[in-house]
Structure 1
Amino acid sequence: MERRNLPAILGMPIILLAVIVGGVLLASPVTEAGLTAFEDPDSMANPFIFLAILLIFTALLLLLIRAAKQQLISLIIGGAIFLTYIYVFQAILYTFVGDGILLMIGPVALAGVSVIILYRYPRWYVVDALGIILASGVAAIFGASLAILPVVILLAILAIYDAISVYRTKHMITLAEGVMDQKMPILFIIPKERGYTGTYEKIRASEEDQESPKDDVKKERGTFLMGMGDAIMPAILVVSAYTFLSSPIPAIGAAIGSFVGLGVLLMMVFSGKPQAGLPPLNGGVILGFLAACSLVSEWSWVFVL
């Protein structure tokens, strides 16, 4: 193991763990506050609705990137993040204050402050801290909105889509290049050395000679980068298993599987080639979940006997 890879080996699992734990903790408040994304969590149409929204949003951003509409891109991304923060902070405040005027005003105020801080002071620790809150909230909302089977279908589809978009069409690389200049938590940042206080501008400038900014763990002068979606998607299955199953073992197995998948991804990326993150991550979390379910099933037979 090279010493320069140590921050990623330590930092990426910590971020993934924080998102998973945050998503699990927010699952109940999200449900109680009525902030779920789908009315019927068992509907097989939900994964395809999710995918359709993703494709439309991606196509829109690609068109704007081609037209060099950076200000409009900033407005769209910033608006989407602002609205997401409102839902996340609403779930958090609901836990402490319940219904009331504070629940109406507080989330909007906190969301506005968060976006302003990200825009005015986009240091790596600010981006990571607010990014973990955002990712945890998204994982909780979708994990509490989708039952197990729809989540597994969604993760399988997204893994295939990510592989195609990185290795074949490469439009995800174009998308990443177009949004990297935005001062928003679209990536987690892990510095290689102490004292790093870089902003997105400095990170972007140091990446000009890189083959692709899509790498989930990007080796460049000062930092490693991890796509936020690569932490959110595995966490959705963990939250779903925690929400819809009586035993915590499948959720724990899914979480362990996600770390195994992250380990595979790190080895792939350290080889020096651009990699799609979701195939190993989603594959790991699904296999971990299935293995844990098998374990629970075997234990149930033991108790019966």
Structure 2
Amino acid sequence: MSEFNLRSAASYAGLILMMAVTSLLAILLIGPVKAAGLGAFEDPDSILNAFLFIFAMLVITAVLLILIKWKAQQVISVIIGFSLAAVIYYVVMALLHQAGLGVLADAGGVICGFGVIALLWFYPEWYVINTAGILVAAGCAVIFGVSLSLLPVLVLLVLLMVYDFIAVKRSKHMLTLADGVLRQKMPIMFLVPKTKGYSYRKSGFSIRNEKGERGAYMIGMGDVIMPAILVVSAQVFAGGEGVMSVFGIYLPALGALIGGIVGLLILMIPVNTGKPQPGLPLINGCAIIGFFLCCLIAGSWDWLVW
């Protein structure tokens, strides 16, 4: 039976807000990140980058699944913690360098990176997780978005749509992975309370409340990062002189953002059944459709020259 009610609608609004804020923050970070020379790949036009991304993700997934099987929870915490701290470090360092702080920028990045992880460890409440998650997701999106042009990004998003469906519906190893890392007190997901007074920390790191009912909705960080990568890449590689923009956001990037939000809204329909659902087929698919529709409206096709 559907759990939909007004509180569910408010939770949906919270998820949409976090997706939008993540993409908008990523766009704001484009300048500082490019100025700091941060990037994941040397050649942004290489389609091979998409396959390298998938390969690296599969290796990391395999390592985490092995650690879960071995019940090496502390090792998992360290790996996730250092990874997230590194992203926060790069984001803060880039911003502080942009502000002209020089050497102090690196020190500030280190302090913020480990400070946020410490806060998550000692007080992992849902709003702390979400705040850190937005920063990490925006950081990942901008670092990959500025270093991948649009063709590799589109290939990557399509590959991830297929992978996510298989990982959730067929092999189901993604469910094992999510269950294994859910208790690590790190922003690997976004949580939006459905019930008043919900506390992730007090509920034993579960999305259920004390009555066993769904106390919060959860969406994986990857479901927010991947469409945001397209948003950033579209802003960098499909923008420029003569391309329509809204408040400085080029129309192809705005189309990807709106499309991702539409995909999330559609995803909430099967999610309400309480069964795990692959998010990327709908979210990435709608983001790509929104991107192409707005490219058509804006007449922005120069990025197709490859």
TM-score, normalisation: structure 2: 0.89
* 1:15-34 pair list within 5 angstroms: 15-34=18-37
Residue aligning to 1:289: 291
CA contact (8 A) 2:198 2:209 kept: no
Residue aligning to 1:12: 15
Give the alignment partner of residue 148 of structure 2, picking from 138, 146, 149. 146
Q: Give the AA of the match of 1:161.
A: Y
Residue aligning to 1:81: 84
Give the alignment partner of residue 244 of structure 1, picking from 231, 237, 240. 237
Q: Give the AA of the match of 2:65.
A: L
Shift of 1:91: 1.9
Moved more, 89-98 or 21-30: 89-98
CA distance in 1 between counterparts of 2:144 and 2:8 reads 32
Residue aligning to 1:111: 113
CA distance in 2 between counterparts of 1:92 and 1:198 reads 31
3-state DSSP class of the match of 1:204?
coil
Q: 1:200 to 1:265 in 2, by over 3 A?
A: farther
Moved more, 55-64 or 244-253: 244-253
Deviation string, structure 1 residues 19-78 (Cα, Å, up to 9, x no partner): 010110111111110111111110111101111110000000001111111111111111
CA distance in 2 between counterparts of 1:62 and 1:287 reads 33
Shift of 1:270: 1.6
Residue aligning to 1:232: 225
Q: 1:200 to 1:51 in 2, by over 3 A?
A: farther
Matched, 1:171 2:173: yes
Q: Give the AA of the match of 1:222.
A: G
CA contact (8 A) 1:203 1:222 kept: no
3-state DSSP class of the match of 1:41?
coil
CA distance in 2 between counterparts of 1:121 and 1:92 reads 26
CA distance in 1 between counterparts of 2:139 and 2:301 reads 33
Q: 1:55 to 1:182 in 2, by over 3 A?
A: same
CA distance in 2 between counterparts of 1:262 and 1:60 reads 29
CA distance in 2 between counterparts of 1:198 and 1:67 reads 26
Residue aligning to 1:303: none
Residue aligning to 2:279: 277
TM-score, normalisation: structure 1: 0.90
Residue aligning to 1:133: 135
Q: 1:84 to 1:298 in 2, by over 3 A?
A: closer
CA distance in 2 between counterparts of 1:299 and 1:233 reads 22
CA distance in 1 between counterparts of 2:166 and 2:139 reads 27
Corresponding residue pairs, total: 290
Matched, 1:47 2:40: no
CA distance in 2 between counterparts of 1:255 and 1:298 reads 16
CA distance in 1 between counterparts of 2:178 and 2:207 reads 14
CA distance in 2 between counterparts of 1:40 and 1:133 reads 26
Q: 1:201 to 1:86 in 2, by over 3 A?
A: farther
CA distance in 2 between counterparts of 1:73 and 1:279 reads 27
Q: 1:166 to 1:141 in 2, by over 3 A?
A: same
Residue aligning to 2:246: none
3-state DSSP class of the match of 1:202?
coil
Shift of 1:193: 3.0
Alignment gaps of 5+ in structure 2? 244-249
CA distance in 2 between counterparts of 1:131 and 1:30 reads 18
Alignment gaps of 5+ in structure 1? 211-219, 301-305
Shift of 1:206: 3.6
The percentage of aligned residue pairs carrying the same residue is: 45
Give the alignment partner of residue 56 of structure 1, picking from 44, 59, 70. 59
Give the alignment partner of residue 216 of structure 2, picking from 215, 223, 236. 223
Q: 1:97 to 1:174 in 2, by over 3 A?
A: same
CA contact (8 A) 2:14 2:192 kept: yes
